Amino acid sequence: MGRLVVVSNRLADPRKTAAGGLAVALSDVLQATGGLWFGWSGKIVEAADGGVPGEGELHVQQAGPVKLATVDLSREDHDAYYLGYSNGVLWPVFHYRLDLADFDAGYIGGYRRVNQLFARKLMPLLQPDDIIWVHDYHLIPLAGELRALGCTQHIGFFLHIPLPPPLILAAIPGHDWLMRALCSYDLVGFQSEADLAHFERYIQVEAHAQQVEPGHWRAFGRTLQAGAFPIGLDVVEFKNLTHASEAAEMYERMRGEYSRRKLLVGVDRLDYSKGLPQRLRAFRHMLEQYPETRNVATLVQIASPSREDVSAYGDILHELESLCGAINGNFGELDWMPVRYMHRTVARARLPGLYRASRVALVTPLRDGMNLVAKEFIVAQDPADPGVLVLSRFAGAAEQLKEALLVNPYDVEATAGAIHLALHMPREERQERHRSLMRTLKEHDVQWWCDSFLDALSKTEAKETGTPWLRL
Ligand code: GDG
């Protein structure tokens, strides 16, 4: 395989273990091939004296054998590309929330401008036999922009979030341009079979694409491959983290503090896709319906701050605070608070201890590409006395994790019933489910994900260049 070039909105330094799953998974192949990781520096440069800001500056640094190259963005570009289009249009629509999308016409121009800037800055850094792997919804048009500059290398794309059905996608002004751009890749990877099916239906219905062989499509005058590559966890790394001192300390503390209770845990970025209000209503319903759970079950909900400069996030914060207050006010006792809610980030090294001390995890998004918390919770469990995963059927993980208790998070009553069942599940059944879930996670870990995507990408056909249809 040639040199690996990874492109994503933000970078993680592959030398730092705190960087997490994706960086760790990519780091071996980046290091082995002397690879390049390219993206936004995280820096916003203001225009001097209120004038037009200049071209984003390129920074290149060497991290061992891996080169890290980043560009700065102007305030205007950042706001339109990142806040406006990526997180104000694509994130809500791809999570089926048309009601939250802000289709301000100005954003798409900024989105396109930044993708062009990335293409211009990346192009001179490329070598002829590079394999380019682009990540996530911020960068859908990048392959088209690179092709327009003459790039002929293999380019693959992985969408970390869901892809909705064609009629929802079609609500995006310019959806045809966006989906054409997606078809400029040689390989497009999705988290689940459901997302892949939505893509295939879209290109068949809207672009009259034809299947040339299973997984290979002729669309917009070129051939591309599409497949489901569910992202996995670095199981060994997460297990090690579970047994390391910080997690062990956290585990002991939680067990000591809650020795008379059964803990339930939720760990999410504070995002409207994660179904947090619905989860709290289901928990409240359980306390109402099953009075014996009062004084026994405590829900620890971590909601780590996220994208606070995007307006839709303020409402959810307010709703959560008032729900937690009401549950604690109505059900709490002098020596028992039903919900411990934290709007804060917990150190990664401590999370496995919290997972392991919990009898039940509530992972109940309304939509989620995969959801790694579900996988982390399973890996952190003690196989002799494991906890139970209550998982939304609308998380990509539900296609793989069939031995979890699958719920419809919109159905508060049924979810409350499932939480109750999870709290009372006999040890033998918990062990059996945990064993099967672990088998799946080990078979489909992050290395499997990385290898299978790159293997498929390196086998794709040579490309056509110049895509005049990409011009808006
Ligand atoms: C996107 C897609 C897809 C959470 N709170 C804290 C914390 N976390 C960590 C978790 C986990 C990660 O963040 C969250 O991953 P998810 O997969 O649940 O969700 P997104 O952030 O929305 O990620 C998603 C994923 O990409 C990968 O492809 O699965 O569907 O939306 O690792 O542990 N970490 C720390 N403190 C916290 O408070 N340290």
Question: For position 15, what pLDDT does the model report?
Answer: 65
Taking the centre of ligand 1 as the mean of its atom positions, its distance from the CA of residue 269, in whole angstroms, is 7
Is the same domain home to 159 and 58? yes
What CA–CA distance (Å, rounded) separates 357 from 380?
Answer: 9
Asked if residue 437 is part of any domain, the answer here is yes
C-alpha 39 to ligand 1 mean position (Å)? 20
H or E element: which one contains 293? none
Same domain, yes or no: 182 and 299: no
- The pTM of the full predicted model, rounded to 2 decimals, is 0.95
Question: Does 282 lie in the same domain as 177?
Answer: no
Q: Is 225 exposed, middle or buried (0-12, 13-18, 19+ CB in 10 A)?
A: buried
Q: Is residue 186 part of a domain?
A: yes
Note whether 157 and 240 are same-domain residues: no
User: Looking at the 3D structure of the chain, how many domains does it have?
Assistant: 2
Q: Is residue 434 annotated as part of the catalytic site, yes or no?
A: no
Q: Measuring from atom 27 of ligand 1, which residue has the nearest CA?
A: 160
Contact 84, 111 (CB under 8 A): yes
Candidate list 13, 28, 102, 160, residue with the active-site label: 160
Cβ(267) – ligand 1 distance below 6 Å: yes
Asked if 268 contacts 274 with a C-beta cutoff of 8 angstroms, the reply is yes
Q: How long, in residues, is the chain?
A: 472
**Cβ(265) to ligand 1 under 6 A?**
no
279 domain residue, yes or no = yes
Please check whether residue 472 lies inside any domain of the structure: no
Residues 137, 193 share a domain? yes
> Of the listed 198, 368, 420, 444, which one is catalytic?
368
Asked if residue 261 and residue 164 are part of one domain, the reply reads no
Q: Whole-angstrom Cα distance, residue 348 to residue 241?
A: 9
| Residues 202 and 181: beta-carbon distance below 8 Å | no
pLDDT tens, position by position, 203-253: 999 999 999 999 999 999 999 999 999 999 999 999 999 999 999 999 999
What CATH number is associated with residue 190? 3.40.50.2000
**C-beta of 269 in contact with ligand 1 (< 6 A):** yes
- Torsion angles phi and psi, residue 4, rounded to 5: -90, 130
Ligand 1 near 310 CB (within 6 A) = no
| 122 C-alpha to ligand 1 centroid (Å) | 28
Positions in the chain whose pLDDT score sits under 50: 19, 465-472
160 is known as an active-site residue: yes
- Show the domain range for 192: 4-232+448-458
Distance CA 261, CA 298 (A): 7
Residue 134 shares a structural domain with residue 177: yes
* pLDDT tens track for 34-73: 899 999 999 999 866 555 566 788 999 999 999 999 999 9
Residue 160, ligand 1, Cβ within 6 A: yes
240 and 284: one domain?
yes
